């Protein structure tokens, strides 16, 4: 079994100007290498076309993702420097810039050593995304896993000795307000909760709606949580991304929010949502939107990992200052060390398989999160999703890799 001193961590950063797209590769030995990706005039229209395809739920559901397959097999390779298989790191931190945010770098094919076989990059190395260097350093500094002796981690694919895996507490739950998949949602939430030896809480219950107030109540839980899993449909607002959010059930009662108004005095106001449910939503239940803006105001967490199993939760628009606005980024801002979220609409079968394999590696084999991502993607690649990149690469990790 390798020790922590054997783990190789590298970084890949991008810089986009009006003229060129360039990459900076920082190897595990600290040596920096700048390489030319391509001209902005050539690449940006391709990136825009790919983003449009990945925002189309019908193309994702039918697997007709021709632009994603072209990116994966051809022009996406320019985003990686020339690498030999034996020089690949174990972990790669990707720091995008401008239009390169949300590019699925983990799906780019590279050639195996002494073989004609190509493998997606995320099958070979553990990948995490960070929207900036500063955000990555903040997630590292707040990650409770960093307080654990790194040599205690299990870096292989065999089970560690009994008693070595840390005890983690978890809250897990969700709701399907759009269709009839409550049972499937609940099954995945239970799968998450039952993989941990700490506290196990499942919110979904016929008499306990999964609403804005119940989610925020979970975040105010007195005991510190290691893992928070939220499974719901996501809604992306193309005009104001801070109004994007999770589609949850409408609160049955009247919940109150205490707001300081003057001289430190608090007054109670009805806890109304910051936006109405979009008219386009065709739901079978009364729906409210738990927006990113509301989370920023009302929620503070200290989780080792947030599993945000909501469609397109990792997708966002780049704002001024190269700030990507997405639900996943919001959870990093309010205190999560790492966030696992889908980049586009997530088919439930792919989410179910990914969740099972990822948790198997993280909780049973005691791998760091990025290596657990690699393990899950490898197992999916070996199974029925090998030729379905829109399912194989839908889940991504953001923030700290450990």
Where residue 282 falls (left for φ over 0; alpha for ψ -120 to 50; beta otherwise) is: beta
Number of domains in the chain: 2
User: Is 125 in the same domain as 192?
Assistant: no
Kindly report, residue by residue over 37-76, the tens digit of the pLDDT. 999 999 999 999 999 999 998 999 999 999 999 999 999 9
Kindly report, residue by residue over 144-157, the tens digit of the pLDDT. 989 888 777 776 76
Half-sphere exposure of 321 (CA within 13 A, CB side): 4
Establish if 354 belongs to a structural domain.
yes
pLDDT number for residue 320: 66
Establish if 77 belongs to a structural domain.
yes
User: Is 254 in the same domain as 317?
Assistant: yes
Range of the domain at 247: 165-399
**9-13, 196-200, 267-271, 280-284: least confident range:** 196-200
Establish if 373 belongs to a structural domain.
yes
User: Is 68 in the same domain as 216?
Assistant: no
Q: Token digits for 349?
A: 């079968």
User: Is 211 in the same domain as 111?
Assistant: no
Establish if 290 belongs to a structural domain.
yes
If you average pLDDT over residues 114-120, what whole number do you get? 77
Gap between the Cα atoms of 370 and 396, Å rounded = 9
Pairing of strands 305-310, 287-291: unpaired
Establish if 39 belongs to a structural domain.
yes
User: Is 194 in the same domain as 331?
Assistant: yes
pTM of this structure: 0.90
Pick 105 or 222 by higher pLDDT.
Answer: 105
Q: Token digits for 367?
A: 């791998």
The β-bridge partners of 118 are 111
Asked if residue 206 has pLDDT above 50, the reply is: no
Establish if 362 belongs to a structural domain.
yes
Q: In this structure, what CATH number is given to the domain that contains residue 342?
A: 3.40.50
Q: Nearest 10 degrees: CA dihedral of 296, 312, 107, 20?
A: -70
Looking at residue 222, the DSSP 8-state letter turns out to be S
User: Is 115 in the same domain as 180?
Assistant: no
**178-182, 197-201, 227-231, 312-316: least confident range:** 197-201
Give the residue from 81, 111, 129 where a domain finishes. Answer: 129
Residues making up the chain, counted from first to last: 402
Please provide the average confidence, as pLDDT, over all residues in the chain: 85
User: Is 89 in the same domain as 182?
Assistant: no
Kindly report, residue by residue over 370-397, the tens digit of the pLDDT. 999 999 999 999 999 999 999 999 999 9
Which sign, positive or negative, has the C-alpha torsion 213, 219, 225, 230? positive
Distances (CA, A) of 344 to 232, 311, 341: 14, 6, 9
User: Is 109 in the same domain as 190?
Assistant: no
pLDDT number for residue 148: 83
If you average pLDDT over residues 226-239, what whole number do you get? 84
Residues 6 or more apart whose CB falls under 8 angstroms from that of 219 comprise 228, 298, 299, 300, 301
Give the residue from 80, 108, 129 where a domain finishes. Answer: 129
User: Is 264 in the same domain as 392?
Assistant: yes
Give the residue from 72, 107, 129 where a domain finishes. Answer: 129
Establish if 193 belongs to a structural domain.
yes
User: Is 245 in the same domain as 368?
Assistant: yes
User: Is 272 in the same domain as 198?
Assistant: yes
Establish if 274 belongs to a structural domain.
yes
Distances (CA, A) of 147 to 150, 153, 248, 283, 356: 8, 12, 35, 44, 26
User: Is 119 in the same domain as 23?
Assistant: yes
pLDDT number for residue 196: 77
**6-15, 103-112, 220-229: least confident range:** 220-229
Kindly report, residue by residue over 169-188, the tens digit of the pLDDT. 888 888 888 876 777 887 88
């Amino acid at each position: 079994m390798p020790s922590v001193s054997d783990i190789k961590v590298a970084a890949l950063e991008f810089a986009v100007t009006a003229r060129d797209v360039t990459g900076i590769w920082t190897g595990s030995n600290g040596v920096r290498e700048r390489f030319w990706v391509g001209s902005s005039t050539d690449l940006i229209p391709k990136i825009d076309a790919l983003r449009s395809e990945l925002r189309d739920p019908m193309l994702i559901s039918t697997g007709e993702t021709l632009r994603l397959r072209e990116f994966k097999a051809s022009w996406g390779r320019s985003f990686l420097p020339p690498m030999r298989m034996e020089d690949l790191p174990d972990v790669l931190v990707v720091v995008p810039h401008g239009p390169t945010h949300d590019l699925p770098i983990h799906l780019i094919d590279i050639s195996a050593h002494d073989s004609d076989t190509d493998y997606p990059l995320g099958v070979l190395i553990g990948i995490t995304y960070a929207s900036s260097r500063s955000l990555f350093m903040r997630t590292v500094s707040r990650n409770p896993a960093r307080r654990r002796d790194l040599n205690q981690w299990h870096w292989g694919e065999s089970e560690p000795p009994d008693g070595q895996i840390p005890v983690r507490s978890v809250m897990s739950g969700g709701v399907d307000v759009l269709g009839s998949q409550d049972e499937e949602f609940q099954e995945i939430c239970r799968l998450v909760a039952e993989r941990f030896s700490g506290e196990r809480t499942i919110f979904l219950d016929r008499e306990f709606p999964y609403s804005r107030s119940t989610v925020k109540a979970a975040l105010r839980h007195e005991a510190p949580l290691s893992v928070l899993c939220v499974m719901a449909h996501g809604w992306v607002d193309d005009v104001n991304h801070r109004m994007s959010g999770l589609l949850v059930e409408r609160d049955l009662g009247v919940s109150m929010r205490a707001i300081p108004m003057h001289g430190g005095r608090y007054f109670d106001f009805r806890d109304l949502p910051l936006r109405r449910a979009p008219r386009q939503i065709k739901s079978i239940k009364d729906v409210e939107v738990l927006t990113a803006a509301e989370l920023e105001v009302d929620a503070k967490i200290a989780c080792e990992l947030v599993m945000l199993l909501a469609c397109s939760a990792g997708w966002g628009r780049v704002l001024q200052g190269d700030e990507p606005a997405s639900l996943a980024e919001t959870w990093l801002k309010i205190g999560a060390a790492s966030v696992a979220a889908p980049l586009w609409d997530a088919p439930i079968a792919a989410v179910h398989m990914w969740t099972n394999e990822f948790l198997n590696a993280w909780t049973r084999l005691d791998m760091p999160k990025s290596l657990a991502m690699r393990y899950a993607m490898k197992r999916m690649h070996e199974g029925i999703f090998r030729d379905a990149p829109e399912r194989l690469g839908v889940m991504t990790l953001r923030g700290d890799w450990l």
